[in-house]
Chain A
Amino acid sequence: MTHIMPHIALPDGMPGIRGAMAFRPETAKPLNELVEVLLCGPHSLTPGERELIATYVSSLNDCHYCRSIHGAIAAAHLNGDEDLVKRVKADFQHAAISDKLKALLIVAAKVQKGGKNVTAEDIAHARGKGATDLEIHDTVLIAAAFCMYNRYVDGLGTTQPHDEALYRERGKKVAREGYISVSKTYLPAEAAAH
């Protein structure tokens, strides 16, 4: 891959969103807190399921860094099943996931294109498969939030390595420790939140 310079002077050696967060620790704090609640907090959807939603939306937005790292975190939560992650990205209707998650991925894809695309029928369908209001809310917000994270990462022209092993190792670490905890390695203490 051609190395492309970031659009602004981001710290060296920190790929993707990490360079941007280190550049602006003040905004990194709420960005990390939001992703922590959405993807790691206690929930009726497993962390693996929520990471699959994040991975799928990042894939639709064609953000290499986000779909690779969240795909790796999803796989780490799902017993290392990288094939399942690939299947969700390519054709989730034929992936070995629950019907409820398939219905939520439909909602997520509508949000990715624009919030108004979500219909009462999409919601009724998800509810028919057992989705709760909180699960629907969080699916909409995960999809919306990754439309932000993806644009942030690509819009600054961050460096995005193409080394799968790097994402795999990082994915295991984030799955184990969570976003706020790993952010302490690249943010000043006061920005690494509570």
Chain B
Amino acid sequence: MAHVALPEGLPGISGGFAFRPETAKPMRELAHILLHEPGSLTPGERELIATYVSSQNDCYFCQTSHGAAAAAHLGGDESVKQVKTDFQTAPVTPKLKALLAIAGKVQRGGKNVTAEDVAHARSLGATDLEIHDTVLIAAAFSMYNRYVDGLGTWQPEDQTMYATMGKHLAEHGYLKPSH
């Protein structure tokens, strides 16, 4: 049972979004810009950051749905699994590893990010915009994850549903419901 009367049959954040369309609109738009619109980090890389932060926050719905979106972008879920368990050994670029280290710091609290973390990311080619967006993706998923778990939303464990959702998100983004 969710903590408030969310519409039935909508998993995870979709229930919160349907309950309160006024807040859903900017929340959808923010995710769409950060994860889906063209950028120097690929959508797959940005979904990996979102998945990693959601995994650190132990949010089942978010880590599974964004993991599925990342897998759809990347053509497989090998790097998704490894990013969640130990990103240093995952088949991703050194730049993305440095950005994941920053994202992990932000997840625990913004003050944890050091000048050294940022200098390291920059030395591996990260731009100011990529660093900015990494910080904001990690911060935003510290919101989405708390929203999804804090409302006690329904989070099914049907992997087929997440795979379908991930493909839809990878293709269409976040502006409209995927159901």
Contact = CB atoms under 8 A, between A and B. Distances in A.
A163 to B, nearest CB: 21
B15 to A, nearest CB: 10
B149 A34 contact: no
B30 A31 contact: yes
Given A33-B25, A140-B151, A153 B110 contact: yes
A143 B146 contact: yes
Interface of B: 1, 3-5, 16, 19-20, 22-23, 25-27, 29-30, 33-34, 37, 57-59, 102, 105-107, 109-111, 113, 115, 118, 128-129, 131-133, 135-136, 138-140, 142-152
Given A23-B132, A34-B26, 4 more contacts: A133-B4, A141-B23, A148-B143, A156-B135
The 9 A-B residue pairs with the shortest CB-CB distance, nearest first, are: A154-B110, A115-B149, A115-B150, A155-B110, A148-B143, A151-B139, A30-B26, A144-B146, A33-B26
A38 B19 CA distance: 14
B36 to A, nearest CB: 12
B91 to A, nearest CB: 27
A153 B142 CA distance: 13
Interface of A: 5, 7-9, 20, 23-24, 26-27, 29-31, 33-34, 37-38, 41, 61-63, 107, 110-112, 114-116, 118, 120, 123, 133-134, 136-138, 140-141, 143-145, 147-157
A157 B25 CA distance: 28
B33 A26 contact: yes
Nearest to A123: B3
A121 to B, nearest CB: 11
27 contacts: A5-B115, A7-B131, A7-B135, A26-B33, A27-B34, A27-B136, A30-B29, A33-B29, A34-B26, A34-B27, A61-B109, A63-B110, A115-B59, A115-B146, A118-B149, A118-B150, A123-B4, A138-B20, A140-B146, A140-B151, A141-B23, A144-B147, A147-B139, A148-B142, A151-B109, A151-B135, A155-B106
A110 B105 CA distance: 21
Given A27-B136, A151-B106, A151-B142, A7 B118 contact: yes
A8 B128 contact: yes
Contacts of A61: 109-110
B146 A151 contact: no
A29 B57 contact: no
Nearest to A140: B150
A136 B3 contact: yes
A30 to B, nearest CB: 4
A34 B136 CA distance: 15
A136 B146 contact: no
A27 B118 CA distance: 21
A134 B4 CA distance: 8
